Amino acid sequence: MSLINKKTILDNIASSALKEQLSIHVFSKIDSTNSFLKELNPSSKIEICLAEQQTKGRGRLNRVWHSPSAENIYFSCRYRLPNNIANLSVLSLVTGLTIIDVLKEYCPTLQIKWPNDIYWQNQKLAGILIESIHTKNKFINVIIGIGLNINSDLQDQLNINWVSLYDINRIRYDRNIIISSLISKLDISLNKLITYGFEIFQKKWQEYDYLFAKEIVVENIAQEITGTCLGIDHTGKLILQKQDGIKVYINQGEASIKKMP
Ligand code: BTN
């Protein structure tokens, strides 16, 4: 199976303008691709970090991201975005939709679980970790970290809530092709977000919404709310209808499907 290769990745990116903006770092082993970009000196390039293996792969809420060698994609990119992007949390929603766009040719039945997990039949295929570095000027450096389970055989493992493309299709994939597509499509999505705002993504979300019409519980630091999920609004907030009929709009939190007693 092929290893991650910078040349193959670049050869499969069509836009030469985009290629010129990229600075790609590939490691056989690293603590975390997100951490690498956090420490990297500032630059005006789109910095990308990829690794065959992470020894301290990080997930959301301080969880560990399982990162075995040469099987999956551990990808981070650092973008300089104008700091007038009102709500940074929409970045993870847009990234999630972009991942679905990249992977739909391999699996057309993927869904997105607010705010940013990619699911296939109630199992998690991909996760996103966004971190931001504020600068003194009018930009924010954001690091978009993406873990995609591609070639791991996860069905053999105890945790049945995880799935890979291999588990779904029984095919091993060349990760370089998927990475090229991810870099190209993410760049297009981020530029659309900057130019038009989140509203233009709202409709697309409805097509893939894993939580829609389900009874869910959303937990955040302040509270735990239960209700029926009515999708997201034009700013990316999750809409929940409580039992008393009142609608609440949630900006941050961890959603789960309510277990029936
Ligand atoms: C989650 O669902 O909890 C987010 C997982 C994000 C994992 C990716 S793998 C590449 C990048 N580097 C990290 O340390 N984490 C992200």
pLDDT, tens digit, for every residue of 157-198?
A: 756 689 999 999 999 999 999 999 999 999 999 999 999 999
Quick check: 135 pLDDT over 90?
no
pTM (2 d.p.):
0.96
Q: Residue 172: its pLDDT value, please?
A: 96
Q: Residue 88: its pLDDT value, please?
A: 77
Compute CA 221 distance to the chain's CA centroid, rounded to the nearest angstrom: 22
Task: Indicate the pLDDT class of residue 133, thresholds 50, 70 and 90.
Answer: confident
How confident is the model over 252-261, as a mean pLDDT? 85
CA of residue 57 to ligand 1 center, whole Å: 6
Q: Residue 103: its pLDDT value, please?
A: 98
CA distance 117 to 100: 10
pLDDT, tens digit, for every residue of 201-233?
A: 999 999 999 999 999 999 987 789 999 999 999
CA of residue 126 to ligand 1 center, whole Å: 9
pLDDT, tens digit, for every residue of 44-78?
A: 999 999 999 999 999 998 999 999 999 999 999 99
b/e for 37-76, b at 16 or more Cβ within 10 A?
A: bbebeeeeebbbbbbbbbeebbebeeeebbbeeebbbbbb
How confident is the model over 108-136, as a mean pLDDT? 92
Q: Which two tokens stand for residue 260?
A: 């029936």
CA of residue 260 to ligand 1 center, whole Å: 30
Q: Residue 259: its pLDDT value, please?
A: 79
Q: Which helix (H) or strand (E) holds 62?
A: none
CA distance 206 to 202: 7
Quick check: 261 pLDDT over 80?
no
Residues of the chain with pLDDT > 90: what percent?
82
In terms of DSSP bridges, do strands 22-27 and 117-120 run parallel, antiparallel, or are they unpaired? unpaired
Q: Residue 151: its pLDDT value, please?
A: 96
- Locate the ligand 1 atom nearest the alpha carbon of residue 117 and give its number: 2
Quick check: 101 pLDDT over 70?
yes
> Which residue, judged by its Cα, is nearest atom 7 of ligand 1?
147
- Is any atom of ligand 1 closer than 6 Å to the C-beta of 96? no
Q: Residue 91: its pLDDT value, please?
A: 93
Task: Indicate the pLDDT class of residue 131, thresholds 50, 70 and 90.
Answer: very high
- Is any atom of ligand 1 closer than 6 Å to the C-beta of 205? no
pLDDT, tens digit, for every residue of 232-246?
A: 999 999 999 999 999
Q: Residue 260: its pLDDT value, please?
A: 72
- Is any atom of ligand 1 closer than 6 Å to the C-beta of 115? no
Q: Residue 158: its pLDDT value, please?
A: 59
- Is any atom of ligand 1 closer than 6 Å to the C-beta of 58? yes
CA of residue 245 to ligand 1 center, whole Å: 36
Is residue 3 within 8 Å of 70, Cβ to Cβ?
yes
Annotate 84-146 with DSSP letters as a single string: T-S-TTHHHHHHHHHHHHHHTTT-TT-EEETTTEEEETTEEEEEEEEEEEE-SSSEEEEEEEE
- Is any atom of ligand 1 closer than 6 Å to the C-beta of 141? no
Residues of the chain with pLDDT > 70: what percent?
96
CA distance 51 to 4: 8
CA distance 241 to 228: 5
